[in-house]
Amino acid sequence: MTDQGQIHATTVSVEGKGILLMGPSGSGKSALALGLLALGAQLVSDDITLLHRDHDTVTARAPDAAPAAIEARFVGLLRARLTDAVPVALVIDMGREESERLPPHRTTTLLGVDCPCLHKVAHNHFPAAIMQYIRHGRLE
């Protein structure tokens, strides 16, 4: 089965694994992406992400006309090299803030595929925690 769509989201890649940051305008998607870029992630898309489903894999990429840039609020549009499409390995829901110290495993559905999902964490360690999660996973 194949399907496709467009989502208001910013996507970065770490070691070929996509991290899709979704949420309303002003929720901090680009700010979190900048933090992840500073830790070695690569930009896939900023603001708009195209999704494509092939069987049980959802792939994220930038629209064809997307600028090679990321918005840094109150700084401007910053140049950034865009990387190729990546399979989505983790979704961060920036519209929901985490309140549990050890949250349960959550998923969200993209194009009919369940993907691991974290809620926004309003602490400075969040970008580093995401990098550790995407590289090494999480205990059950």
Residues acting as catalytic residues: 8, 29, 47, 101
What does the radius of gyration of the chain's CA atoms come to, in whole angstroms? Answer: 14
Contacts of 99 (CB under 8 A, 6+ apart): none
138 C-beta neighbours (distance < 10 Å), count: 13
Q: Hey, what's the torsion of the CAs at 84, 35, 20, 50, to 10 degrees?
A: -50
Going from the C-alpha of 69 to that of each of 42, 76, 81, 83, the distances in angstroms are 12, 10, 7, 12
Closest CA to 59 of 110, 128, 130, 135: 110
Which residues make beta-bridge pairs with 113?
110
